[in-house]
Structure 1
Amino acid sequence: GPPPPPPLSRETGVRLVVATGLHQDVHYAEDVLAALRGRAAEVFVAELTEGIGTSGVRAGLIKVAGGFHGLDAHARWVMSAAAEAHHATGAPVAVHLELGTGAPDVLELLCGEFGVPPHRVILGHLNRLPDPVAHRQAAASGCYLAFDGPSRAHHATDWRMPDAVRDLVEAGHGDQVLLGGDTTTAAARSVDGGPGMPHLLRRVAPRLALAVGEEAVRRVLVDNPARAFAADWR
């Protein structure tokens, strides 16, 4: 069975899920990546089933990253390992889309070539490319679509998010929408003065409700993530 929740989760009543996986190669020293060649899937599975390092804390999802309008060799290698780890554990796979681009390439690779069920894939940062046609095409696959909270880095497109969500809800994809904050820019006040995660509930959620209604916002904030991040561990 699952380990007991960490103190912060017990105190707040909020479920916390940590990720295994790898970001784009620019974020790592070459020796770190070299040490993972041929064993990335093994490491992902171990962090999902045994724990991360010696912490005893097990990951609950696999996080990977695409590139700008495409996938390089590193991204394909990482996604191959992520798919292998998914098939071994049932854990969902979340994907960083660079500036919201590349969703078709990711879905063709993860779901088409590697056989990850679309409902186990979460595409992130879609609001950074506010293209309703691209959003509906991605949603048609059956995957989850994650929209970020505001940040200085993406202020130019943040205001388009309520309309993007409304478009998906009206197209029948309201059960696939997720809302979050990109914590590297939005939550760390010391980094860029972003409004942080509380802003999502205090300001963003009421604004979203004006576009899609309270019931749809509840689905986005409660019901959808409960399904997206659930896993029947094998």
Structure 2
Amino acid sequence: MVNAVRTVLGDVPPEQLGVCDAHDHLFFGSPRLPGQELRSASAARAELAAFRAQGGGAVVQWTPYGLGRRAADLPPLSREAGVHIVAATGLHQDVHYDDATLDGLRGRLAEVFVTELTEGIGTSGVRAGFVKVAGGFHALDAHARRTMTAAAEAHRATGAPIAVHLELGTGALDVLDLLCGELGVPPHRVILGHLNRSPDGVVHRQAAESGCYLAFDGPSRANHATDWRMPDAVRALAEAGFGDRLLLGGDTTTAAARSVDGGPGMPYLLRRVRPRLALAVGEALVTRILTENPGRAFGVEWR
């Protein structure tokens, strides 16, 4: 299919996504967050239902290889909730994995990514729709360079977009230098995440000028002043002509952050962030950011 978003139920035209949470997690588990794993299918189902009740139509899950994606659970959840789900392949920072996992992937990362994009994740048959990788704090270590090199190979083989976790929102320009400069990935196939965590307007603009997508995700984090800074950052980029490059996401990574457990969760993106952002840039642009932009960012002519 030409220019399709690869969801867990198959490829769909980008315009069918509806209102999209462009960065979130239904399932996630890391040794860095002991006791806060997202493992409950019933909680994931309730969270999707709450998101749907606020007008949500699609969720892009950025959970990569080895961090509890539960790919086989995603298709029934998507059907039951009536919400499109896009799954990820890729690899997070090395601190999220034990040595045995990393050793087992050495030398075959690109092969794993391509297989999960084209054949499926494990025995689930669910194909990933993009590659998720991660940078470090103001730097790219050897692990980040290896994973991004593998992601670039997977992109060349499949056309899949590459989404990047920026640690505390930093390192955007280094990531672009590597992925788009050294490795030749077209900028419009790169999505930079967590830019709201480092509200540097100059860097935001320089990144946008490359042609990549900029994701403002993870509102209402206790340790990040994201909510009140984000509207100004989005407005500055929109006024500079980059409104078509922007994405919004919730990035729910712990059980306590879910709305069904008393946190803001996925619904907060539409219940509170959307109207607040509309005051800054207008409802029409916010609607495009939530609907048209994700379709372009994750829509691919699959090879």
Partner of 2:267: 198
Kept in 2, the 8 Å contact 1:149–1:204? The answer is no
Q: After superposition, what is the alpha-carbon deviation per residue over 1:116-169, rounded to whole angstroms, capped at 9, x for unaligned?
A: 000000000000001111100110000000001423344423310011000000
2:228, 2:297 → 1: CA distance? Answer: 25
Q: Which amino acid letter does the alignment assign opposite residue 86 of structure 1?
A: H
What's 1:169 paired with? 238
The alignment status of 1:53 with 2:122, answered yes or no, reads yes
Give matches, 1:57-68, under 5 Å.
57-68=126-137
Secondary structure class of the residue paired with 1:59: coil
Q: How many residues get paired?
A: 234
In 1, the alpha carbon distance for the partners of 2:226 and 2:244 equals 23
- Separation in 2, partners of 1:186, 1:178: 24
Larger mean Cα displacement after TM superposition, 119-128 or 7-16? 7-16
Instruction: Report the structure, 1 or 2, having the larger helix content.
Output: 1
Q: Contact (CA 8 Å) 1:51, 1:58: kept in 2 or not?
A: yes
Task: Please report the RMSD computed on the Cα atoms of aligned residues, expressed in angstroms.
Answer: 1.9
Cα deviation, residue 9, structure 1: 2.7
- Which aligned pairs between 1:37-186 and structure 2 lie closer than 5 A? 37-185=106-254
Supply the distance in 2 between the matched residues of 1:98 and 1:125 (Cα, whole angstroms).
8
The structure in which a higher percent of residues are strand is 2
Q: What secondary structure is seen at the aligned counterpart in 1 of 2:110?
A: helix
- SS, match of residue 194 in structure 1: coil
Give TM-score scaled by structure 1 length.
0.94
Note closer, same or farther for the CA distance 1:204–1:190 as it changes in structure 2 (3 Å cut): closer
- Following superposition, the deviation at residue 182 of structure 1 comes to 1.2
Decide which moves more: 5-14 or 82-91: 5-14
Kindly indicate whether the alpha-carbon contact (under 8 Å) linking 2:194 and 2:218 is maintained by their aligned counterparts in 1.
no
Structure number with the bigger relative contact order (C-alpha 8 A, sep ≥ 6) is: 2
Q: Measure, in 1, the Cα distance between the counterparts of 2:125 and 2:256.
A: 26
- For structure 2, the 5+ residue unaligned runs are 11-74
- Structure 2-normalised TM-score? 0.73
* Cα separation, partners in 2 of 1:119 and 1:154, compared to 1, 3 Å: farther
Structure-2 separation of matches of 1:108 and 1:165: 23
1:99–1:125 CA contact under 8 A, matched in 2: yes
